[in-house]
């Protein structure tokens, strides 16, 4: 069962750099609900907008303690995305994938192997940080010949629908390839835990850089 998180909370979490992908839980309900509650409290969002069953049963203090412990346990594993980035000293092979673009065309990573490097941008339309980086990606596309670098933006499907993505791109067309990762299979294969997340792949298919920051010296990392 998938637990939906209100779009304004997703945007707030993204904007503060604490969390951008809410992992689904097998049982569906309570751990994800606890996460939403404590994230709302942390960001001073009124928790009453959520349907909190435990707070309606009279067991307020027990529930508060339970949620507090659960939140601390879960939050300890959350990545802080603000300035994260890793240049790969030992390159690993980038997982291949096949996705459809917004016109239904097939795009694979392997089609660029041996031809040119590829920059992957994992993002979503509701992510404020992703939107703040978008102008830099557009400028990178304008200043870097397509023969030297392919840019592929992959919508992670967390809170976005294909229809919503198409509407966004119709209103704000990107000068690079945009793909929709239905069921987030590619996102998971790249172990993406927060967005934006960039992966730079050389023309041999090896990962040269990955992280939340778009490097200003991107092309130098390929040397």
How far lies 73's CA from each of 46, 67, 78, in Å? 23, 10, 10
Looking at the fold, whether 108 and 178 belong to one and the same domain comes out as yes
136: domain CATH number is: 3.40.30.10
> What confidence tier does 177 reach under pLDDT thresholds 50, 70, 90?
very high
pLDDT of 36 reads: 44
Looking at the fold, whether 120 and 18 belong to one and the same domain comes out as no
Closest CA to 118 of 204, 48, 9: 204
Strands (E), the chain: 85-93, 98-100, 106-108, 118-123, 150-155, 177-180, 197-201, 206-211
What percent of the chain is modeled with pLDDT above 70? 59
Per-residue pLDDT tens over the stretch 198-209: 999 999 999 999
Residue 18 falls inside a structural domain:
yes
pLDDT of 85 reads: 58
- Per-residue pLDDT, averaged over 111-119, amounts to 97
Strands (E), 8-160: 85-93, 98-100, 106-108, 118-123, 150-155
Say how far apart CA 215 and CA 221 lie, in whole Å: 9
Looking at the fold, whether 19 and 41 belong to one and the same domain comes out as yes
pLDDT of 216 reads: 87
Looking at the fold, whether 171 and 152 belong to one and the same domain comes out as yes
Residue 80 falls inside a structural domain:
no
Highest mean pLDDT among 7-11, 16-20, 80-84, 107-111: 107-111
Looking at the fold, whether 155 and 48 belong to one and the same domain comes out as no
Residue 143 falls inside a structural domain:
yes
β-strands 206-211, 197-201: how paired? antiparallel
pLDDT of 79 reads: 40
Looking at the fold, whether 57 and 26 belong to one and the same domain comes out as yes
Q: How many domains does the chain have?
A: 2
DSSP for 79-99? PP-TT-EEEEEEEEEPPP-EE
Residue 155 falls inside a structural domain:
yes
10 Å CB burial of residue 210 (0-12, 13-18, 19+) is buried
Q: Token pair of 99, please?
A: 């996705």
Q: Which of 75-89, 93-107, 153-167, 205-219 has the lowest mean pLDDT?
A: 75-89
pLDDT of 198 reads: 97
Per-residue pLDDT tens over the stretch 129-175: 999 999 999 999 999 999 999 999 999 988 899 999 999 999 999 99
pLDDT of 90 reads: 56
Choice between 113 and 2, residue whose per-residue pLDDT is larger: 113
Tokens 């967005």 — which residue? 195
Per-residue pLDDT tens over the stretch 6-38: 554 454 444 444 344 444 333 344 344 444 444
Q: Which domain holds residue 114?
A: 85-222
């Amino acid at each position: 069962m998938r637990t939906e998180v209100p779009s304004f909370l997703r945007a707030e979490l993204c904007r503060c750099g604490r969390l951008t992908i809410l992992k689904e839980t097998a049982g569906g309900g309570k751990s994800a609900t606890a996460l939403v509650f404590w994230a709302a409290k942390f960001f001073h969002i009124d928790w009453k907008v959520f349907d909190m069953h435990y707070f309606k049963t009279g067991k307020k203090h027990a529930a508060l303690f339970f949620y507090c412990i659960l939140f601390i346990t879960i939050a300890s594993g959350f990545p802080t995305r603000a300035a994260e980035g890793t240049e790969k000293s030992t390159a690993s092979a980038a997982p291949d994938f096949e996705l459809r673009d917004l016109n239904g065309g097939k795009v694979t990573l392997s089609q660029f192997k041996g031809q040119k490097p590829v920059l992957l941008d994992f993002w979503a339309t509701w992510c404020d940080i992703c939107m703040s980086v978008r102008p830099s990606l557009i400028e990178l596309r304008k200043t870097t010949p397509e023969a030297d670098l392919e840019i592929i933006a992959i919508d992670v499907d967390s809170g976005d629908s294909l229809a919503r993505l198409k509407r966004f791109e119709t209103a704000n067309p990107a000068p690079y390839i945009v793909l929709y990762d239905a069921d987030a299979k590619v996102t998971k294969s790249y172990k993406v835990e927060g967005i934006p997340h960039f992966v730079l792949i050389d023309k041999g298919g090896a990962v040269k850089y990955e992280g939340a920051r778009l490097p200003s010296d991107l092309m130098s990392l390929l040397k």
